[in-house]
Structure 1
């Protein structure tokens, strides 16, 4: 009985370990058609003059359109401090042919394209008849601090949600340098003519938040001043009591002997 029990436990442990190793090797399996075919949070703007064009929304989502006309594949990953490279999480994959035809992820696969996920990355590979096209994706990314690796080289653009800005240092930051800011339909659009490596970082703020920040700073200043005045008053009261009790106040006094 004991041997059978031990053997059963060993079989269960082997299954658990095997399943874990398989999940590691496959990265949890390829991305599902359901994920790739999901509806984007808003319509993709394929009519862009940039090699990478990001649209950020106040709800914490982003869309991006990549020019892949001179590529046969695209590697998507995110660099983490402790776990190394990890697959980029995205959804709502779309591919646009040069003639304007747009297909979703499952149709992309049916026509010879590949979307394969590993423990380290997602590979998008294009079929031979997919030259000169464009890829669009959606994902999660806060406009208050948006960071993305540069998967393609060339010109970039990041459009902020309405009411957001990067103008004031410290609360606003853009990297790399050499960018310009345009206004398109009441929204700030940050553009780079050439980005060749590394990542882009956009830290923005909602303009109405400045009023809140100023109010918090003002209240903090008032509290600090009031606390200082109260402390000094208590100190003076303590000094007066000590003098009434004849204990002195530890002031440097000349005792007449020069010491």
Structure 2
């Protein structure tokens, strides 16, 4: 019985570890990451402006009459975890930018609670976070207009290769980069999967090869069928007996 309890305790600890939770708590904010020198574009009129590149993404959120902002991310199972934040800053309405530190961030098991000021203020909070791959997903921390600029050479024009959610959006091209714009986002999250322009050529080439191989195979089998039909005619297997059906006359040779 004791052995079973011990095994059950070990399994429980392993399950907690795999789920991303720590028995000792979420730990302390990384002061070095929070203090990284990251440049942001504060000029966007969107409520949320996202810039994604090959190694990380930056976010600028417009907040109104708020003292705290909760930042988090969801894994594939929908479980919430504190967002890994770099270069955390706050810009007041008058243009003053304040670097937020570890003292301004409180980590819980699910959220990173950021205190932007000692009282409710209006301004913009900005942060960066690591990123890789050809997809991006993020909870919608604020409602309203969103803009997301994709990495260089990333495209979303071909639905079979890309997916954008929510679907009511517009795109524009600036300096070779695609920006996706949503007028009013009310969903809990947004996600984008893109392809690179070279992937389109690769996909087109593979599709052309598949069509050629499929067409060649169809022609080959049609020729084989025709050869078999000719062979059947040569050996006399294709005898037309349709005229003999219902014929009450005498057998052949007795007419």
How would you bin the TM-score normalised by the shorter chain? 0.7 to 0.9
Structure 2: distance between partners of 1:87 and 1:236: 65
Residue matched to 1:3: none
Question: Does the 8 Å contact 2:26/2:107 carry over to 1?
Answer: no
Matched, 1:87 2:81: yes
1:102-128: per-residue Cα shift (whole Å, max 9, x none)? 41533xx1xxx223131x333323441
Higher radius of gyration, 1 or 2: 2
**DSSP-derived class of the 2:157 partner:** coil
Matched, 1:54 2:50: yes
Residue matched to 1:166: 156
Structure 2: distance between partners of 1:145 and 1:126: 29
Shift of 1:45: 2.0
1:174-204: per-residue Cα shift (whole Å, max 9, x none)? 3334433333334222223332333223343
**DSSP-derived class of the 1:182 partner:** strand
Unpaired segments of 5 or more residues in structure 1?
1-5
Question: Does the 8 Å contact 2:88/2:128 carry over to 1?
Answer: no
1:152-231 to 2 correspondences below 5 Å: 152-231=142-221
Q: 1:26 to 1:45 in 2, by over 3 A?
A: farther
With normalisation by structure 1, the TM-score equals: 0.72
Residue matched to 1:36: 34
Pairs aligned (count): 241
Structure 1: distance between partners of 2:100 and 2:89: 6
Question: Does the 8 Å contact 1:26/1:117 carry over to 2?
Answer: no
Question: Does the 8 Å contact 1:95/1:133 carry over to 2?
Answer: no
Q: 1:234 to 1:159 in 2, by over 3 A?
A: same
**DSSP-derived class of the 2:43 partner:** coil
